[in-house]
Structure 1
């Protein structure tokens, strides 16, 4: 929750060409010093509030994909996109089908580890969570050998392989969250130090465990490197899970994936006669050798309630006036968790900030674009499904793009607008990754705001939202928002607001419309989102990733064919 911006005047903002600073000059390859001036029209607070209020109401039951709440969401957004003057974006249709498999774990047993000095038993939800990516009626792990594999990373380009010389077929692997150097103060080092890489994400660790043939992959939860508490793990993983449908039904995946509490991981390792802290320290170093927990066996089981569902992305387009076959993207996910772990009897995770506010932003920006008139390039407004289940809607769109990715100029993602109040700074997630930084630098200078690096790069935000699905296929995507230096209360107040949201509302029933007390920061976010996207839509430049960036090769390859 660093999306906390200084409030801008309600009147239209002229973004001056003279506002470009030195950083923009470094991006001469994009013509950043000649980015167009754009005016930001008045943005409708009423629209932002109305859409956020509607989508986060109990009537939508938390907007889980494949539920009646999805149908209500789709119908409502088609209505709002139509009223905003957009055209159906998918060959005359407002939606893109996204085939999903819905899997709900039922009748979970305790997770037991036997064969050590003493048995260790973990209770479902309290001590562990587990789920399956295999579409099968029952998941069972019985007397599986257990191996501690450190951070579970296989990175040939770094000469790092935690699975080297190891056969984990049929075994249960215990994995540390984040990267080996996450405690490094600076964002540099083997794995970018404090700044999380994709190797640190839980999604990667499950993927690699599956490639290695493991039967089960269990990540040790530790609040600081995970970047969220156990309450988030529990609420996100004990209900219905959604997977992308596949021809093999997930046969190439592990049987079970999950998380275990840190204290239970320590008990487990101690039962094998080893010291958890010593193993964790050893795992930080290149050349670490995985450690079998000799004699220890893991067992668990649960039934899987399976249903195939067709979810939908919702897409509207404002055709460009001069180059309609070139596209600028705005993305936001419409889904949330549906019904979740109850708090004080409330089991609906309404997702007002996350991400009814972002979808409200889509509609508000669509209105503003219509008011200002069509820009040179086409602008696509894409509300995607199943972000909370692993970016499934944006991943499906990126694999099956309606508008060619090679003709997609770039995009802006909006995930959880700022509800803490105006701030003086702007945080760029993954700052320095692409030429799009120059676009934002121009806006920031005009608004007398300071661009800052991520205060918590260890949380890996760039890999946690829908822009990542497009970025890894080469489309320059920028993700930014308000910093924590609040106009009222400064950095201390901003930090307190962010911590309060994460502890009490993030992925919990408390994320409700009535909990939003300040809308000024949201409107300030939207002004910047509008300006950056409008610049892309009004220039003839094609932004790219920075030289040496992980996504540069994909962009160069796609553009080479144009």
Structure 2
């Protein structure tokens, strides 16, 4: 009995000791997040430094940015994704920069020639100089009447400003007039138009146009015409079925601008998949910002730490994780776009000359302005309801123990990010980020630091950005697998 009791006691001790033995555990979650934050911060500190000068395309800082991203992609172990041996890593983005210098507008009527005061008028063109003189003038009211192109082509079209339809001028320009002169209500409305046109503008050279836009206040234009003529025209334009009337006047417009054509670059890398022809997943973030946006001040540089050094840093960190955890079935492309701030131009250039067929991209994820929200918050889902990705995104959010934020708020940014350009071409493209969950999260940043020199690394919040990264790691792994995310259609060979 005693012997058996000792044996039993020894067995209990052995079991207890085994239970107390150290059990191997996975990495500490907070330590993982801290390491991610440290690596992202290293990239952000470089990209948002004064040395990079605000990352404006066509500047030394822009070139430094491109070179840095190429170097980082190479360090991660990516391959060039341009699929162009003559231009590895860099896909050219051909741009034209213009800025107005001066203008003169002269109206000639039976009562004589009148030069519009500079303070009451404005004129803008993308060309170095445009001079039109002695051109017929046609008045079209608010421009919404039934117009025939032959009534407008080659003439100066005078239109009253329509606050309800900002696209009227573009519709008129489609008829190829010599110019469109918009009569605005007053000097306040004129200054709003100056704000749109007066600053330097970037466009793709492929979108370059000879459109000449001119503006004049209601009072100044009325003073150039015979007494009562402008009021008569306005009254006639208010009638139903009014379309146009030729004026007994000619107008001369002389416009001078600075103009510079140059080549910027998108940077494209890739993680090759193991199943050629199965499609691709695209990750994207814009690298550009505004350069010196506040000249003459103590801090003139818009460094763009949040917008969008943080998005580039997140994309690079995600790429490093995906490269380490590969191979994946599908190719994974990384696209760092130029000139997003000037109208999504880098994304448009990518769409115009994609390195792979656009229809082979099964999903595209954009990263923009991510370093705003704290950890553990809801996700904004820009593009919800627009692509087949809804279910997989919602499920990934649930698996992360989170929920979606305000749909209405997120959708207000649908046309304001690079993914919109791809979405228009049928590419399933979304932006999912804690930063866009609600106005409560993003509003303070937009009101204080957005597009200002104060967008510095001191204001970064990486908690939500790391949530974004972990969510997209799950999403991309799933979508890059042909088993967990089968292609919905036969894809072309790549």
TM bucket (normalised to shorter chain) is 0.7 to 0.9
Is the contact between residue 275 and residue 330 of structure 2 (CA under 8 Å) also seen in structure 1? yes
State the match for 2:403 in structure 1.
449
Query: Tell me, what secondary structure is at the counterpart of 1:105?
Result: strand
Are residue 255 (structure 1) and residue 218 (structure 2) matched?
no
Aligned residues between the structures: 447
Q: Deviations over 1:518-555 (max 9, x none)?
A: 222222233333333332212454677xxxxxxxxxxx
State the match for 1:505 in structure 2.
449
Distance 1:413 1:274 in 2: 53
State the match for 2:391 in structure 1.
438
Query: What are the ranges of 5 or more consecutive residues in structure 2 without an aligned counterpart?
Result: 1-26, 186-190, 224-229
**1:365–1:10: structure 2 CA closer, same or farther, 3 Å change rule?**
farther
RMSD, aligned α-carbons: 4.5
State the match for 1:171 in structure 2.
156
Q: What TM-score results when the alignment is normalised by the length of structure 2?
A: 0.73
Query: Tell me, what secondary structure is at the counterpart of 2:432?
Result: strand
State the match for 2:8 in structure 1.
none
Per-residue deviation at 1:288?
A: 8.3
Q: Which has the higher contact order (CA 8 A, sep 6+)?
A: 1
* Mean Cα deviation higher: 168-177 or 522-531: 168-177
Is the contact between residue 160 and residue 184 of structure 2 (CA under 8 Å) also seen in structure 1? no
Query: Tell me, what secondary structure is at the counterpart of 1:64?
Result: coil
Distance 2:370 2:222 in 1: 44
Query: Tell me, what secondary structure is at the counterpart of 2:417?
Result: coil
Per-residue deviation at 1:408?
A: 1.7
Distance 1:70 1:371 in 2: 29
Are residue 107 (structure 1) and residue 101 (structure 2) matched?
yes
**1:114–1:49: structure 2 CA closer, same or farther, 3 Å change rule?**
farther
State the match for 2:92 in structure 1.
98
Are residue 412 (structure 1) and residue 356 (structure 2) matched?
no
Per-residue deviation at 1:141?
A: 5.7
Q: Deviations over 1:330-349 (max 9, x none)?
A: 11111222333537354433
State the match for 1:242 in structure 2.
202
Are residue 44 (structure 1) and residue 28 (structure 2) matched?
no
Per-residue deviation at 1:82?
A: 1.4
Query: Tell me, what secondary structure is at the counterpart of 1:243?
Result: strand
State the match for 1:194 in structure 2.
none
How do 1:266-305 residues align onto structure 2 when only pairs under 5 Å count? 272-273=230-231, 301-305=254-258
Per-residue deviation at 1:407?
A: 2.0
Distance 2:387 2:161 in 1: 30
State the match for 1:475 in structure 2.
427
Query: Tell me, what secondary structure is at the counterpart of 1:273?
Result: helix
Q: Deviations over 1:275-311 (max 9, x none)?
A: 99xx9xx99xxx9866779679876544233333222
Are residue 395 (structure 1) and residue 348 (structure 2) matched?
yes
Query: What are the ranges of 5 or more consecutive residues in structure 1 without an aligned counterpart?
Result: 1-8, 13-39, 153-160, 181-199, 223-228, 545-555
**1:443–1:314: structure 2 CA closer, same or farther, 3 Å change rule?**
same
Is the contact between residue 123 and residue 212 of structure 2 (CA under 8 Å) also seen in structure 1? no
* Mean Cα deviation higher: 387-396 or 360-369: 387-396
Q: Deviations over 1:35-94 (max 9, x none)?
A: xxxxx9987212322222222222222222222122211111111111222112224554
Are residue 334 (structure 1) and residue 287 (structure 2) matched?
yes
Per-residue deviation at 1:425?
A: 3.3
Per-residue deviation at 1:216?
A: 4.0
Is the contact between residue 278 and residue 491 of structure 2 (CA under 8 Å) also seen in structure 1? no
Higher share of residues assigned helix: 2
Query: Tell me, what secondary structure is at the counterpart of 1:376?
Result: coil
Per-residue deviation at 1:130?
A: 3.4
How do 1:23-422 residues align onto structure 2 when only pairs under 5 Å count? 44-91=36-83, 94-109=88-103, 121=117, 123=119, 130-132=124-126, 136-140=127-131, 145=137, 150=142, 164-165=147-148, 167-169=151-153, 170-172=155-157, 208-216=171-179, 234=195, 237-246=197-206, 250=208, 253-257=209-213, 272-273=230-231, 301-323=254-276, 326-342=279-295, 344-422=297-375
Is the contact between residue 138 and residue 301 of structure 1 (CA under 8 Å) also seen in structure 2? yes
Q: Larger Rg: 1 or 2? A: 2
**1:358–1:142: structure 2 CA closer, same or farther, 3 Å change rule?**
farther
Query: Tell me, what secondary structure is at the counterpart of 1:44?
Result: helix
Distance 2:348 2:340 in 1: 9
Distance 1:524 1:275 in 2: 60
Q: Deviations over 1:446-498 (max 9, x none)?
A: 223125323275x5x33333223322222111123336667xxxx6x43xx51
Is the contact between residue 423 and residue 483 of structure 1 (CA under 8 Å) also seen in structure 2? no
Distance 1:129 1:506 in 2: 29
